[in-house]
Structure 1
Amino acid sequence: NDPLLGVPIPEVTSEQSSSMASPQSNVQTNHPMTHHNNKWTKDHPLNYIIGPLSRPVSTRLQLHEQALFCYYDAFLTSVEPKTYKEALTQACWIEAMQEELSEFERLEIWELVPRPDKVMVITLKWIYKVKLDKLGGILKNKARLVACGYRQEEGIDFEESFAPVARLEAIRIFLAYAAHRNMVVYQMDVKTAFLNGYLREDVYVSQPDGFVDPNNPNHVYKLKKALYGLKQAPRA
């Protein structure tokens, strides 16, 4: 019952098959074919490139390693060294120690003298502290040079040891009077307060670790002003 049944199919010669246009032959050969490329190549236009051209391409693995290194470096900065040798591994702590000694020179805390006979020389020690802000971020790396005053004996190395302070009642009376008179009260914090007090006794300390005078390695420092850790430092 098929109407096409028995209809002869014409044969196509090779010449006719070559002359017939295929769908692929309609594509222009001079048109560039676009291929998806997920890799960076050097053939991109310059205005499409972000960043300096001399910088090498960073993969995700490299960026991950750089992030870990930055985190590790920040973590080390927030760690307080226990010894002087540990502090030498961080440039920020070396700078903090240099800043502390510069403050000593500015305030004229000591003078380098030959070591006297039959005099106890107090050793010095570096104390490292990380100052944090109210948000918990690192504000400053502080290195403080203190004296090991536990070796001092009362009556020999010092006479008195006390810290003059104001009574709380006196502070309240002062603030009440200032409020009654409409006066302005200013509050201040004295930086390195102990280093501004003069000593009555002759106190000798050793040269700090890492900052020994190469020309006079056996000399010691004679203190002119008080130093943190001394028994008489609060009184001064």
Structure 2
Amino acid sequence: MGPFPLADPSGSSIAELPASNAAIEPVPPVTANQPTPHPMVTRSRTGTFHPKIPTDGTVKYPFARALLAAVTDQEPTCFSQAQKHAEWRAAMTEEINAILKNNTWTLVPSTPSQNTVGYKWVFRIKRTSDGRLERYKARLVAKGFHQQPSIDYAETFSPVVKPATIRTVLTIAISRGWSLRQLDIKNAFLYGLLKEDVYMA
């Protein structure tokens, strides 16, 4: 068999495709009044249509009531936000006084040849075990990613406790019936000896 033409409703030929031995079954025409095979009542069948309101794509979800208490005490993300509130100003003053009391740094004039490390204030709200507000905590931290190897540091060390050590201590305390207490240190300073001079603005 040779190729046969495909025709549009007007009768003109559109394209020619090679005929195959497979029989092509005709598709029954779809009529507008053809009944649907299921009895489901839809909005389009009942004539119920809601108007389409254009939006900017923002999806707003209902806010959980349990989180409303936490929203009232938000932690500031920068100094300009924290200085507007007296409790955060008091926390920053306490941090600066502790740093000065421990002689953490010495003020020196800046020179262009120095690699200067930046700083950032970190603000946290400390809470008790039942969720009540305990105090406001402000930390003045150095931006360590500004340091350069062989200039500001040669090696690094992070004194972090291992989870296995915590589990061992808890296991011994439980087996011997000891009481456990948790405490929060306001200012912890590591007395590490730095061989390099680190300059922080």
TM-score range, shorter chain: 0.5 to 0.7
Q: Give 3-state SS (helix, strand or coil) of 1:113's partner.
A: coil
Counterpart residue number, 2:154: 159
Is contact 1:121–1:205 with CA below 8 Å preserved after alignment?
Answer: yes
Point out 4+ residue stretches in structure 1 off by more than 6 angstroms. 74-77, 168-188
| Change in 2 beyond 3 A, CA 1:160/1:189 | farther
| Offset, 1:84 | 1.1
| Offset, 1:193 | 2.6
Which of 113, 119, 125 is the aligned partner of 1:118?
A: 113
| Offset, 1:147 | 0.9
Counterpart residue number, 1:147: 142
Between Structure 1 and Structure 2, the one with more helix by share is 1
Using the alignment, how far apart are the partners of 1:97 and 1:142 within structure 2? 8
Is contact 2:116–2:199 with CA below 8 Å preserved after alignment?
Answer: yes
Q: How many residues align?
A: 133
Which of 163, 183, 187 is the aligned partner of 1:192?
A: 187
Counterpart residue number, 1:103: 98
Using the alignment, how far apart are the partners of 1:137 and 1:175 within structure 2? 26
Q: Give 3-state SS (helix, strand or coil) of 1:97's partner.
A: helix
| TM-score normalized by the length of structure 2 | 0.52
Q: Give 3-state SS (helix, strand or coil) of 1:193's partner.
A: coil
Is contact 1:124–1:145 with CA below 8 Å preserved after alignment?
Answer: yes
Counterpart residue number, 1:78: 73
Counterpart residue number, 1:15: none
Is contact 1:107–1:195 with CA below 8 Å preserved after alignment?
Answer: no
Query: Which residue type is aligned with residue 111 of structure 1?
Result: T
| Offset, 1:91 | 0.5
| Change in 2 beyond 3 A, CA 1:102/1:172 | same
Give the aligned CA root-mean-square deviation in angstroms.
3.4
Unaligned runs of 5+ in 1: 1-73, 207-236
Using the alignment, how far apart are the partners of 2:158 and 2:124 within structure 1? 23
| Offset, 1:148 | 1.2
Using the alignment, how far apart are the partners of 2:84 and 2:76 within structure 1? 9
Q: Which has the larger displacement, 130-139 or 181-190?
A: 181-190
Deviations 1:3-54 (A, max 9, x none): xxxxxxxxxxxxxxxxxxxxxxxxxxxxxxxxxxxxxxxxxxxxxxxxxxxx
Using the alignment, how far apart are the partners of 2:132 and 2:181 within structure 1? 27
Q: Which has the higher contact order (CA 8 A, sep 6+)?
A: 1
Deviations 1:96-152 (A, max 9, x none): 110000000111101111113411111111111111111211111111101111121
| TM-score normalized by the length of structure 1 | 0.46
Unaligned runs of 5+ in 2: 1-68
Q: Give 3-state SS (helix, strand or coil) of 2:114's partner.
A: coil
Is contact 2:124–2:137 with CA below 8 Å preserved after alignment?
Answer: yes
| Change in 2 beyond 3 A, CA 1:120/1:172 | same
Using the alignment, how far apart are the partners of 2:71 and 2:174 within structure 1? 48
Query: Could you say which structure has the larger radius of gyration?
Result: 1
Using the alignment, how far apart are the partners of 2:71 and 2:172 within structure 1? 50
| Offset, 1:80 | 0.9
| Change in 2 beyond 3 A, CA 1:108/1:136 | same
